[in-house]
Structure 1
């Protein structure tokens, strides 16, 4: 299966990265796609979604850029 270079996941093995949406740094990003301009993150404090057994997440849209941390 080919991996899209624009898709980033927190556990994809490419190391730590900073994610920016419209120039603003976003922490606790679960996944993002730079080509589509979407970033999904878990806002602090973490909380459970009442309808499902998972962490509550938010979706941001805009200009998404990813910067590797060395």
Structure 2
């Protein structure tokens, strides 16, 4: 497990924390392209499919979903 994963605790999951692939669900529905998931706060940050750029083209637009967050390791 990476030091980043240990620093955040087991309830925060990020794409680069080194804990492997995961399946993330919000209120029972699977969410793809997740960047950040917090099971305590019930927050998931993800990209749209297909990805959309901000109008000035500097970053990819992210969306936030809230609800009961479940994370399964694959």
- TM-score (norm: length of structure 2): 0.86
Aligned residue pairs total 69
Paired residue for 1:15, among 9, 14, 20? 20
CA positional deviation for 1:2? 2.7
The unaligned stretches of length 5 or more in structure 1 are none
Partner of 1:5: 10
Partner of 2:3: none
The unaligned stretches of length 5 or more in structure 2 are 1-5
- Poorly superposed stretches of 4+, deviation over 6 Å: none
- Higher relative contact order structure (alpha carbons within 8 Å, sequence separation ≥ 6): 1
Partner of 1:47: 52
- TM-score (norm: length of structure 1): 0.91
Aligned-residue CA RMSD (Å)? 1.4
